[in-house]
């Protein structure tokens, strides 16, 4: 077995390979001036190859993944396992207007054709319950970081009220709260545009409460900053945030901090300065389970 590592996800992939006690090799990427990617793999590969790369900022990464997987097969890999802690294009699961591409289905089909196993963490699935409905293979494995987040919060804080900023976050916030005996509440959200969100807090006494907002991803940061503003108005004592997938596009992080969040803690599903909750143990367990 061998793990192929990409430069943008090197530290996390090396940590995972060390935990699995397997060797690694780098995938070399060269970007030509016109934006094309040259992908180079080691010239011979074992039968089972693991490819570890998160798929945030996905468009270049997806074409490189396609080249990498097809080349790995030519070089002798019989089994290919993709470990993508963040899996992009999972949100668009219907055509909201006639003619729109249903990216989840198309992406899922592509991954199913390329890989024997796909392992990811807390994919953002709306209308389907299991990842194999999006990626039609037996080993389409969706893990949750709830345990890792719960352990982290338990070490960090004596108590906090956990707040999910929208109904979709309830699954994560309730699981985390129940593991460590913290209370939780869930807000409601209406998204009017990429950077326009309306959040309403639930009927709860937030005064003097330490609050941790829990969300699966932060993209523009508007959901987190809106929830923070409302919590401060409601008298919350201190607000921190835990994010599973720290996409943090553009001014997102600055916006969240400006709104009054004291600490942002994220998992290392994406390389980011806030990443301090490591997923290697969780991912290694999933790899061992499928061997």
Site residues (vs ligand R5P, CB under 6 A): 165-166, 168-169, 197, 215-223
CB atoms within 10 A of CB 176: 27
| Residue 198 vs 289, nearer CB to ligand R5P | 198
Integer angstrom CA distances of residue 238 from 166, 186, 208, 232, 235: 20, 17, 8, 8, 9
Residue 209 vs 219, nearer CB to ligand R5P? 219
Asked if 262 and 157 touch (Cβ cutoff 8 Å), the reply is no
- Pick between residue 54 and residue 219 the one whose CB is nearest to ligand R5P: 219
Cα–Cα distance measured from residue 146 to residue 150, given in angstroms and rounded to the nearest whole number: 6
Tokens 């005064």, residue? 207
> Residue 227 Cβ, how far from ligand R5P at the closest point, in Å?
9
Min dist. Cβ of residue 137 to ligand R5P (A): 26
CB of 233 to ligand R5P, least distance (A): 19
Return the sign of the alpha-carbon dihedral for residues 176, 167, 127, 193.
negative
Residue 51 or 176: the one with the smaller Cβ distance to ligand R5P is 176
CB of 218 to ligand R5P, least distance (A): 4
Structure tokens at 266: 């994220």
115 or 248: CB nearest ligand R5P: 248
Q: Closest approach of Cβ 154 to ligand R5P, in Å?
A: 23
Distance CA 245, CA 145 (A): 10
């Amino acid at each position: 077995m061998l793990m192929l590592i990409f430069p943008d996800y090197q530290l996390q992939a090396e940590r995972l390979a060390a935990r699995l006690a397997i060797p690694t090799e780098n995938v070399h990427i060269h970007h030509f001036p016109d934006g094309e990617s040259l992908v180079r793999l080691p010239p011979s590969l074992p039968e089972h190859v693991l490819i570890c790369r998160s798929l945030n900022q996905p468009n270049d990464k997806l074409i490189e993944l396609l080249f990498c997987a097809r080349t790995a097969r030519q070089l002798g890999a019989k089994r290919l396992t993709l470990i993508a802690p963040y899996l992009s294009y999972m949100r668009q699961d219907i055509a909201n207007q006639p003619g729109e591409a249903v990216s989840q289905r198309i992406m899922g089909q592509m991954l199913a054709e390329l890989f024997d196993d796909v392992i990811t963490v807390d994919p953002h699935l709306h209308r389907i319950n299991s990842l194999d409905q999006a990626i039609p293979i037996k080993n389409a494995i969706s893990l949750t970081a709830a345990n890792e987040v719960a352990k982290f919060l338990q070490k960090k804080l004596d108590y906090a009220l956990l707040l999910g900023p929208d109904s979709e976050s309830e699954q994560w916030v309730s699981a985390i709260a129940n593991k460590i005996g913290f209370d939780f509440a869930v807000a409601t959200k209406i998204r009017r545009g990429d950077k326009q969100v309306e959040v309403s807090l639930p009927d709860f006494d937030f005064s003097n409460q330490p609050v941790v907002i829990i969300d699966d991803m932060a993209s523009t940061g508007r959901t987190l900053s809106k929830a923070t503003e409302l919590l401060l108005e409601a008298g919350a004592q201190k607000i921190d945030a835990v994010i599973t997938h720290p996409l943090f596009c553009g001014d997102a992080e600055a916006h969240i901090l400006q709104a009054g969040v004291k600490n942002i803690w994220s998992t290392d599903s994406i390389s980011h300065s806030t990443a301090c909750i490591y997923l290697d143990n969780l991912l290694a367990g999933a790899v061992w389970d499928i061997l």
